A and B are shown apart, each in its own frame.
Chain A
Amino acid sequence: MTRTFMTRLAVGVLAAGAVAGTVAAVPGVAVAASSAPAAGSTVTTTASATTATTAPASNPLCTPAGFAAAQQVVEAALAGRVSALDALSTAADNPANHLTAADRQTLQTSITTVELPGIQALQPQAQQATTCRALRLVARAMVVNFRVYIVMTPQTHLTVVADDETYVEGVFVNLEPTISQAIASAQAQGKDVTAAQNAFTDLKSQVAGAQSLTAGQAATVLAQTPSGAPGNWQAFLGARTNLVNARNDLHAAYRDAQQIRTDLQ
């Protein structure tokens, strides 16, 4: 898994490198590649292990003859980031999720007042560039200053998940007294509530476990910044592991709730 992930990431780096590399050596890409995130995660992921990001073919050098093509590549890369940021803004602004007000505001501020205007400001610079050096500066800023794909994207989505899990945990916690009371009432009537009680004990344990796993995850994820990349990749991987495990706990709690209801009927 680790090897596969590293390989795929390297391909991803190459893909981006092809964009910036089109305009010559790209320091930002070199930095990213030199400390590519190690997989390290024990999470079983959904993506196919064989799925690879296809690196676009491009000339790694910006030459006078190839300048126009290089310029188009950079402009396309900028446009792609604008689209990605728009999607992230929509996700952060979606009232259907359970982002806390503070987390929603933090994400929106970062996306709409820093990232998006920053990338958009580079677009005319790329269009107006007339030399490889100028184009290279734009490409580097696009990659290094904003980190749309390896910071902003996982940051937004992981924060949504963390807050969603916190919400579901709250639902379960508030059910616990009601469940306890129902079990006690059934027991007082002579019903065997052993299974229900065991399920309830497990439910509480699962919810507590989920709470422990999600505690502080949103804050940790939100603390990551573009300047911390690629070193902060591990923070995202760690958060993912905790959130996946918390999700599993919540599913177990749900199964317990089903069991309790069945047992008390």
Chain B
Amino acid sequence: MTTRKLAVAALSLGVAATLAACGAAGSSHVVQGTVPPASTPTTAPVTSSTTAPQGTATTAPSGSQPSGSPSPTSADTLSTTTLNQVAAELGTLDTNLSTADDDLNNPQGDS
């Protein structure tokens, strides 16, 4: 493996490890949106995987409250998995924001 590939692999592993540590894989909608999302969720790319070296570690986001246990991830699918997880988080965020948006656009009555 070339050093350049190693660098890419390390980056991919770091991204995946961080998300896994945060329990980001289990996204789901908090509240079902009643209107279409404010924008189309970012589409995760389909890319080739890289092989990650062992021993690369990252830390969980500070100040966050992970809601789920990290799940083991195959080194062969780290890249796609990682960005898919980010995309899923952003998609959920869009849905939740759309729900809040709808609250303000269509207040039910005066109370």
Contacts and interface: CB of A to CB of B under 8 A. Distances in A.
B110 A13 contact: yes
A167 B65 contact: yes
Most interface-central of B27, B59, B65 (chain A CB within 10 A): B65
B96 A160 contact: yes
Contacts of B62: 170, 173-174
A133 interface: no
Given A91-B31, A97-B30, A254-B87, A13 B109 contact: yes
Interface in B66-111: 67-68, 79, 83, 86-87, 89-90, 92-94, 96-111
5 contacts: A12-B109, A163-B65, A171-B89, A189-B3, A261-B8
A-B complex: 10 closest residue pairs judged by Cβ atoms = A170-B61, A16-B109, A178-B14, A185-B7, A32-B110, A182-B11, A157-B100, A47-B105, A143-B111, A96-B28
Interface of A: 5, 8-9, 12-13, 15-17, 19, 28-29, 32-33, 41, 43-47, 51, 53, 81, 84, 87, 90-91, 94-101, 142-144, 146-150, 153-154, 157-158, 160-161, 163-171, 173-175, 178-179, 181-182, 185-186, 188-189, 191, 229-230, 236-237, 240, 243-244, 247, 250-251, 254-255, 257-258, 260-262, 264-265
Given A146-B111, A247-B38, 11 more contacts: A12-B106, A12-B108, A87-B31, A95-B68, A100-B63, A144-B111, A164-B92, A167-B89, A178-B10, A189-B3, A236-B104
